[in-house]
Amino acid sequence: MLGQVFKKPQKRSVFHDNIFKEIEELGLKSIGIVAFISFFVGGVVAIQTGLNVDNPWIPKYLIGFATKRSIILEFAPTFMSVILAGKVGSYITSSMGTMRVTEQIDALEVMGVNTLNYLILPKIIATVFFYPFIVTLAMILGIFGGWVAGEITGLFTADNYIEGIRLDFKPYLVQYALTKTMVFAFLIATIPSYYGYYVEGGSLEVGKASTKAVVWTSVVIIIFNYFLTQMLLG
Amino acid sequence: MIEVKNIYKSFGENEVLKGVSATFEKGNTSLIIGTSGSGKTVFIKCLLGLFIPDKGDILYDGRSYVAMSTREKRLLRQEMGMVFQGGALFDSETVEDNIMFPLKMFTEQSKEEMLERVNFVLKRVRLENVNQKYPAELSGGMQKRVAIARAIVMNPKYLFCDEPNSGLDPKTATIIDNLIQEITDEYQMITVINTHDMNSVMEIGEKIIFLKNGVKEWEGSDKTIFKTDNKSVTNFVYSSNLFRKVREVYNK
């Protein structure tokens, strides 16, 4: 399957158009949910850390530090990827599965189109190169959500929080998070595409394939997360 | 010419095609008829290359389709047009984009040239002012005509149709049949149609192949099908009340 996917596109202009369409469908249309979840989860992480740091000997700036680390290392790349696996994965499987059962993929094949390349490669490129931006946005909004939570609850001051964010900032950790994101993005594009492309039957089977695709993409992301963390940080 | 040489196709234990041979000539409309499950769809999908026969060969103008590389198959497919049973139109694209798709993908024509060609084929299938409509906004007959327009937009040498009349009223079905026949004559294509519609047999059955349980049981034309003494064919032809009544009246 991947051999055909990574063949040279048959028509460059059509391929470029498809990449932009996929960036819109799989990326831009996910920004709203990513922003919403990141902001609130960032706030919750900061509040919970604040509530648990009640020892007067522990400096308050650690709340900002812990929030930053949790968001950059795990929440933004992994948690967001699992959410995107649900939203985007089900979209990819159901749209491609519907094309399969209504013979639209056969129609493309009969025209002489390399359907694996035409349908899947733009999705891979769109996700692998666009999701790092989405995850960066999730990082920024998550940290911002933590700051807003501190302002509202009074658990910590803005100065403490910003000090914690600046403390021991390692650019490599952002690089690690974005590397993980690119691997997860590849999984989000390919696993649901596989389930959609090879579905057989009717609408019920398309629904079942969507569920399977989301479950397996999430499971594989979690497993890859473990090994990537060991490889890149261990 | 398309030559089908003794093809077999199985799915697991189920042997669907059992040594079918046939030839299809330029400028002719050939019908593959038979009851449901007789292997018609598998046969046409073998011709298209969507299924690879387990045994036997399919020759397109002497070139073996089975032995071709994936790239050669894709090039040959650009000479084919296919009208699927359900139309298989891209439902998120307008009629214009549906028909323009093969031109965008395989030609270097300008937007104006492509649009001119799209309008020409739409006119050819007697559809106008539907360019910006989506397939869901069209009737079944109109969708079939758009599918035909998309199939012929690249001037194919080979046209395949899977049950082009299914779900259509008899009048629209006849219009579609005649349209396919006209286009076949005009562009001197090789047209192969899968059908179980006896009206189509009477309208455009220049050559008819009857499949039963994956075997070619009979071959003839609309002139000979009503005279044959092949029991399977007569059972099929006279399975409808209408044809039985016509026969009774004719015999009286």
Smallest Cβ distance to A111: which of B78, B89, B160? B78
Q: At B3, is the pLDDT very low, low, confident or very high (cuts 50, 70, 90)?
A: very high
pLDDT at residue B230 is higher than 90: no
Structure tokens at A13: 């202009």
- 3-class state of residue B30 by DSSP: strand
Which residue segments constitute the domains of chain B, with CATH numbers given? 2-79+157-251 (3.40.50.300), 93-155 (no CATH)
Put simply, the answer to whether A104 touches B48 (Cβ < 8 Å) is no
Q: Which residues pair with A137 in a beta bridge?
A: none
- Do the domain assignments include residue A202? yes
C-beta separation of B24 from B1 below 8 A = yes
pLDDT per residue as tens digits for the range B186-199: 889 999 999 888 87
Q: Give me the pLDDT at residue A29, please.
A: 95
CA A88 to chain CA centroid, Å, is 9
**Which of the two residues, B183 and B119, has the higher pLDDT score?**
B119
Residue A3 lies in a domain: no
% chain B with pLDDT above 90 = 52
Q: Identify the pLDDT of residue A69.
A: 95
Least confident of A88-92, B121-125, B199-203: B199-203
Which of the residue ranges A100-109, B17-26, B202-211, B238-247 would you say has the lowest mean pLDDT?
Answer: B238-247
pLDDT at A218 over 90: yes
pLDDT score at A3: 83
Residues of B within 8 A of A10 (CB-CB) are 105-106
Work out the minimum CA distance from B144 to partner chain A, whole angstroms. 14
pLDDT at A165 over 80: yes
- What ipTM did this prediction achieve? 0.86
**Domain count across chain A:** 1
Confidence of residue B160 (pLDDT cuts 50, 70, 90): very high
Least confident of A47-56, A196-205, A218-227, B92-101: A47-56
Residue of B nearest to A15 (CA): B105
Of the candidates A13, A14, A106, the beta carbon closest to that of B84 is on A106
The rounded distance, in Å, linking the Cα atoms of A211 and A200 is 15
Pick the residue from chain B with its C-alpha nearest to A106: B50
Q: What is the pLDDT of residue B231?
A: 87
pLDDT at B234: 84
Q: How confident is the model at residue A184 (pLDDT cuts 50, 70, 90)?
A: very high
Are A135 and A183 in contact by the 8 Å Cβ rule? The answer is no
Residue A169: domain span = 11-233
A106/B86 touch (CB, cutoff 8 Å), yes or no:
no
- For A62-93, the pLDDT digits (tens) are 999 999 999 999 999 999 999 999 999 999 99
Structure-model confidence comparison of residues A198 and B87, the more confident one: A198
Across chain B, the runs of DSSP E, i.e. the strands, are: 2-11, 14-24, 29-33, 55-60, 63-64, 80-83, 158-162, 190-194, 207-212, 215-220
With contacts defined as CB-CB under 8 Å, which chain A residues touch B77?
109-112
pLDDT of residue B30 exceeding 80, the answer is yes
The amino acid occupying position A48 is Q
- Please tell me the distance from the alpha carbon of residue A193 to that of residue A216, in angstroms, as a whole number: 12
Testing the interface with A: which of B71, B105, B108 to mutate, by most A Cβ within 10 A?
A: B105
| Beta-strand relationship, B190-194 and B29-33 | parallel
- Closest to B24 in 3D by CA, of B156, B159, B152, B182: B159
Q: Tell which wins on pLDDT, B178 or A86.
A: A86
Percent above pLDDT 70 for chain A: 100
Query: Would you say residue B251 has pLDDT above 80?
Result: no
Nearest CA in chain B to A115: B74
Q: CA–CA separation, A111 vs B146, rounded Å?
A: 15
Identify which has the larger pLDDT, A195 or A233.
Answer: A195
- Asked whether the beta carbons of A187 and A220 are under 8 A apart, the reply is yes
The DSSP-derived string for A18-44 is: HHHHHIIIIIGGGHHHHHHHHHHHHHH
Judge whether A222 lies within some domain: yes
Q: Is the predicted pLDDT of residue A97 greater than 90, yes or no? A: yes
pLDDT score of B249: 77
- The partner residue sitting opposite B77, judged by closest CB among A102, A103, A112, is A112
pLDDT at residue B86, as a whole number: 86
Q: Which of A14, A104, A110 sits opposite B80 (nearest CB)?
A: A110
Q: Which of A82, A33, A76 is nearest to A187 (CA)?
A: A82
Give me the torsion for CA of A183, A33, A123, B79, rounded to 10°. 160
Mean pLDDT rounded to a whole number for chain B: 89
